[in-house]
Structure 1
Amino acid sequence: MAFRSVLSVTGADHSDQDVRTAASLCAEVGAYLSVLVMSPPPLAVSPPPLGDGIPEWPGQRAHAIAALEKRYRQIERFSQDMANLEKTSREIHKLLRATWRCYDVDTEHCDKAGVGDAVRQRALCTDLTIIGPALLTTLVSGLLLSIGSLFDTGKPVLVVPEGAEPTLSPRRVLVGWDSRVEASRSVREALDLLSGAEEVRVALVDPEATCSGSGAEPGADIAAYLTRHGARVLVDRLPSAGKPVPTVLAQHAIDTSANMIVMGAYGSRRLRERLFGGVTRWIVGKPPLPLFLAR
């Protein structure tokens, strides 16, 4: 599908690196950019009420004073968080006015439990969510965001690790394929990218042992589908040799000079959290490549 609406999520305490990355990708394909600025971790809660006053008994009085001091610190932190959100929002507006004018900027202050839902609501009405290197450094928030923007909406996510050169017009793409619905979904969502690439390599790891329903020649069915959509396809059948599938795919992407990896996200929410953390680690640990995920 064509990407006409892109969501970028950043933190109020992050640099503008992720927004710049998203803006450059939007300019590349003429997409509208929505930026969501989140409160910095650890996310503060709304300030509690001050109470009815200080008791007269000494022991109770000391306890009440300590409680009030804690509440005032919470209020101070809340005020600082809100000020940081507004400051970051103004800076992003200034940046985008100078680089890409088709945009909007929104802010959100919530606790950790609300992060995923806040992103999910925005991602439902966009074509692609970009998770950049600044956000990836915040591991817990990154996992929550991945759940909210990808796994609870079915919309794709482009993960951009530090040092990667992201593009929505890649020349060479590696597709991790195993004939599952999730893999098919990732290919469908990335179809515009794949049909425009100079080379698409469909990689199957241990295909005879792990893939079913792919015909006499594993990978021939998806290769034919992509060819009908104008993609230039090669099929690579790879032995795992006891290595994890993501490791095999990552190394093959490096060996074939791929600009991007496309793959599906699988399993239960807990399994998908582990997958997201895992693929982030193996991408960051290798020469960095953008990762296109869909479910």
Structure 2
Amino acid sequence: MAYKTVLTITGVSGGDRDIKLAAKLSEEIGAHLSVLVVALAAPPPIGDYAAPMSDTWMEERQADIDRLEQRTAAISDLLAPMEISADVTNTYPEIAWADEIIGRRARYADMTVVGPDLLSGETLKEKTIEGALFSSGRPLLLVPEGATATLRPKNVMVAWDSRIEASRAMREALALLVAAEDVRLVLVDPVEGESFQGEEPGADAATYLVRHGVKITVDRLPSLGRSVAEIVKRHAIDTGADLLVMGAYGHSRLRERIFGGVTKSMLEEVPLPILMAR
């Protein structure tokens, strides 16, 4: 699938690196850029202090809205001279609902890009990643500090374990894989068998990719007592990967998002751009 709309999220404070990064990626593939500016609203005061705090809360809320409008206008001015199609919108959700709001917005893009500015934060970073992964049905591209991002990668690594999440990530990245010069399908401690990863682990996925014209190599790696995340990250670095593609694992309980162990570990220390899907 071609990427025609790229979404990026930004807060009311911080720099413009993420905006410029998303603009560069959009220009690279001729995609439309959508920017969503988010200010997180504190919930209204309740209980015994609700009445005396209401005026202060309203003043703080208005100040947030003013900063949100100013940031939106500044980003519009930043994008205006660029030779890309773009739009800028904003939202002011309560913190508890921010991931759902961001996720719904991400449904109307082909990819959400999270850059180093947002990754250096806390609450908005968490809400953006949770919303994009769990509430959009679209892939998420994470670009850490110091990484060089491109949507025309030459060397791509796909972390494969035959689960639905990995299959979806591979499918969402198919356009990138077809255009790449070298794609490595990596399995850590693969298990043979029909209920696991087939008689020859990785062969079925490789055959699927070859039929699409992907130049594929299958790497089966032992963990030797190390974590899967450590093996995947090290192999990506050793093979000079420009991009890592992997599924995002986890489940939802009420409104709490709980990431799987490998996904959480990869997010905590990202060595290169990662395309995730669930």
Q: What secondary structure, in the 3-state scheme, does the structure 2 residue paired with 1:183 have?
A: helix
If you compute each CA radius of gyration, which structure gives the higher value, 1 or 2? 1
Match of residue 272 from structure 1: 259
User: In the alignment, is the contact (CA less than 8 A) between 2:156 and 2:183 conserved in 1?
Assistant: yes
Q: Corresponding residue for 1:131?
A: 114
Aligned to 1:58: none
Separation in structure 1 between the aligned mates of residue 78 and residue 261 of structure 2, nearest angstrom: 35
Aligned-partner Cα distance in 2 for 1:123–1:238? 35
CA distance in 1, matches of 2:204, 2:92: 47
2:106 is the counterpart of 1:108: no
- 1:189 and 2:156 correspond: no
Matched, 1:71 2:54: yes
Answering whether residue 52 of structure 2 is matched by residue 44 of structure 1, we say no
Q: Using the TM superposition, give the Cα deviation of residue 274 of structure 1 relative to its aligned residue in structure 2, in angstroms.
A: 5.8
Q: Distance in 2 between matches of 1:13 and 1:289?
A: 25
Counterpart of 1:83 in 2: which secondary structure?
helix
Tell me, in whole angstroms, the C-alpha distance in 1 between the residues paired with 2:79 and 2:160: 37
1:72-119, Cα deviation, whole Å (9 max, x unpaired): 332222122111111111111111112243111111112111211211
Write the mapping of 1:84-103 to structure 2, written as runs, cut at 5 A.
Answer: 84-103=67-86
User: Within the alignment, does 1:2 sit opposite 2:9 as a pair?
Assistant: no
Further displaced range: 247-256 or 136-145: 136-145
Question: Compared with structure 1, are the counterparts of its residues 273 and 182 closer, same or farther at alpha carbon in structure 2 (3 Å cutoff)?
Answer: closer
Q: Secondary structure of the equivalent of 1:208? A: coil
CA deviations on 1:241-267 (whole Å, 9 max, x unpaired) are 121111110000000000010001123
> Distance between the aligned counterparts of 1:15 and 1:210, measured in 2?
50
Query: What is the letter of the counterpart of residue 271 of structure 1?
Result: I
Corresponding position of 1:59: none
The structural deviation recorded for 1:146 is 1.9
**Deviation (angstroms), 1:120:** 1.5
Cα root mean square deviation, aligned: 2.3
Q: Distance in 2 between matches of 1:34 and 1:205?
A: 37
Q: Is the 8 A contact 1:250 1:282 kept in 2?
A: no
User: Does the C-alpha gap of structure 1 residues 152 and 217 become closer, same or farther in structure 2, counting only changes over 3 Å?
Assistant: same
What is the letter of the counterpart of residue 178 of structure 2? S
Whole-Å separation in 1 of the counterparts to 2:260 and 2:99 = 12
The whole-number CA distance in structure 2 between the counterparts of 1:210 and 1:85 is 54
Deviation at 1:71, TM superposition (A): 3.1
1:156 to 2:156 alignment:
no
Task: Give the deviation of 1:156 after TM superposition.
Answer: 0.6
Counterpart contact for 2:192–2:200, Cα < 8 Å: no
The answer to whether the Cα contact below 8 Å between 2:106 and 2:136 also exists between their aligned partners in 1 is yes
Q: Partner letter of residue 223 of structure 1?
A: A
Partner of 1:60 in structure 2? none
- Secondary structure of the residue that 2:269 maps to in structure 1? helix
Query: 2:103 touches 2:134 (CA, 8 Å); kept in 1?
Result: no
Farther off after superposition, 188-197 or 75-84: 75-84
Residue identity opposite 1:17 in structure 2: R
How far off is 1:153 after superposition? Answer: 2.4
**Alpha-carbon distance between aligned partners in 2 of 1:182 and 1:279, rounded to the nearest angstrom:** 15
List alignment gaps of at least 5 residues for structure 1: 50-62
Q: Provide the C-alpha distance between the structure 1 equivalents of 2:110 and 2:4, rounded to a whole number of angstroms.
A: 7
Q: Equivalent residues in 2 for 1:227-238 (5 A)? A: 227-238=210-221
1:255 is aligned to 238
Q: Which amino acid aligns with 2:108?
A: C
Tell me, in whole angstroms, the C-alpha distance in 2 between the residues paired with 1:273 and 1:135: 22
Structure 1 186/15 Cα, relative in aligned 2: closer, same or farther at 3 Å? same
Q: What is the SS of the residue equivalent to 1:77?
A: helix
Count of residue pairs brought into register by the alignment: 273
How far the C-alpha of 1:213 sits from its partner, in A, is 4.7
CA gap of 1:244–1:274, structure 2 versus 1, over 3 A, is closer
Alignment-derived partner of residue 184 in structure 2: 201
